[in-house]
Amino acid sequence: MNEFTLGVEEEFMVIDPVSRELKSHEQKIVDAAQKILEDQVKAEMHQAVVEVGTHICRNTDEARAEVTKLRRTVAGLAGDMGLRIGAAGTHPFSHWQHQLITDHPRYFEIVDEMQDAARSNLIFGLHVHVGIQSREMAIHIANQVRYFLPHVYALSTNSPFWEGRNTGFKSYRTKVFDKFPRTGIPDYFSSIEEYDSYIKLLVKTNCIDNAKKIWWDIRVHPFFETIEFRICDCPMLIDETMAFTALFQCLCAKLYKLRLQNMNFITYSRALINENKWRAARYGIDGKMIDFGKQLEVNTRALVLELLDFVDDVVDELGCRQDLAYVHKILEHGTGADRQLEIYKQKGSFIDVVDYITSQTLLGT
């Protein structure tokens, strides 16, 4: 299958090893990394964030090699500067008010428009691109795959703490991001033309200057021939990143295959899918979600297993069975959020939680 190429982007925290607070690194890590990795490492709006992205990968094996190399390289450069990196959806106790904004016109413009919604947006996500060459097919798959986003999101929950509080959510990251416009589960679009008309209207009426300011949980990418999945918290472990990457790739391939057979998955409304997204944010894999077909609440873990069954017939064609199998480990050992909460319960200290995150981030590098 040459359609379903992959690109993986991860956003990391930059951490002071003494205070364990987020640390503005004045883009020194980015500058050093760009000498080795060129445009694979980028600055983000807050200076305490480093974003990395793979090249286009043919399969999850290639993506894993790149994700591992990027983590190892950025962690090494941070270490040389007396800093650490960590992978989680939020920092357990740092306050956004103390963080510096990167010196760049684009970021100043966003802050000027969004004010505290932008300044407080100190969150860290995983973005997975899956290559789809036809934009008509891409909007079709994006419409249908929306139903499954909460299931994968529940597995990725990795942000239970915010500013030194246990929020009661397994993923508080999306609660922070909800303050932005054009976020969350997108609406259904009947055609790529309808989607393009929507973008043109927003640009024409000065809502946005380009389509990258659409920050939905999934989008047909404005510049690449990809569908971009944006719902997941940044995973602590490389194995988790690869499991979600494999799952998104499989979902695209499965829905593509159904389309070629003149079959579709049922399309549900944004309002219904949002009910499941809320449950995923609150309870992770330990709650229930709604099976809209049966009109029943079902344990989230059971729905995840059903999802694995649903995509099973494309897994071997894509060659990602080993990466996808890690989903069972997450069901067994808990999500990143579950493990953070367990460390906090044992030690009673956010310092220990940060140390746990930074050590897990480097496992396998």
Instruction: List, for residues 125-162, the tens digit of each pLDDT value.
Output: 999 999 999 999 999 999 999 999 999 999 999 999 99
- The answer to whether residue 28 scores a pLDDT higher than 90 is no
Instruction: List, for residues 239-273, the tens digit of each pLDDT value.
Output: 999 999 999 999 999 999 999 999 888 899 999 99
Residues forming a β-bridge with 197: none
> Cα angle at 242 between 30 and 3, to 5 degrees?
95
Mean pLDDT of 98-109: 82
Write down the pLDDT at residue 361: 98
Residue 2 — very low, low, confident or very high, per pLDDT cuts 50/70/90? low
Structure tokens at 263: 């079959």
Kind plus residue range of the DSSP H or E element containing 131: strand 126-131
Task: Identify the DSSP state of 159.
Answer: B
Mean pLDDT of 153-174: 97
Write down the pLDDT at residue 1: 46
Mean pLDDT of the chain: 94
Task: Identify the DSSP state of 100.
Answer: P
- The answer to whether residue 10 scores a pLDDT higher than 70 is yes
User: Residue 208 to residues 103, 199, 211, 215, 290: CA-CA distances in angstroms?
Assistant: 21, 9, 7, 11, 34
Residue 222, phi then psi, degrees to nearest 5? -70, -25
Percent of the chain residues past pLDDT 90, beyond the cut: 81
Mean pLDDT of 270-291: 97
What angle do helix axes 300-318 and 326-333 make, rounded to 10 degrees?
160
Instruction: List, for residues 286-310, the tens digit of each pLDDT value.
Output: 999 999 989 999 999 999 999 999 9
Structure tokens at 328: 């069972």
Class of domain 6-361: alpha beta
Mean pLDDT of 197-212: 93
Write down the pLDDT at residue 339: 98
Q: Which residue has the tokens 């953070």?
A: 340
Residue 122, phi then psi, degrees to nearest 5? -95, 75
- What contacts 171, CB < 8 A, 6 or more positions away? 89, 153, 156, 157, 158, 159, 160, 233, 280, 281, 284, 337
Determine the length of the chain.
365
Mean pLDDT of 327-352: 98
166 contacts 255 by C-beta, under 8 angstroms:
no
Mean pLDDT of 349-353: 98
Write down the pLDDT at residue 27: 82
* 122: amino acid identity, one letter: L
Positive or negative, the CA dihedral 227, 232, 235, 241 is: negative
For the chain, which residues make up each domain, given as ranges? 6-361
- The answer to whether residue 49 scores a pLDDT higher than 60 is yes
User: Residue 267 to residues 129, 281, 338: CA-CA distances in angstroms?
Assistant: 22, 22, 31
- The answer to whether residue 16 scores a pLDDT higher than 60 is yes
DSSP symbols for 314-365: HHHHHT-HHHHTHHHHHHHH--HHHHHHHHHHHH--HHHHHHHHHHHHTTT-
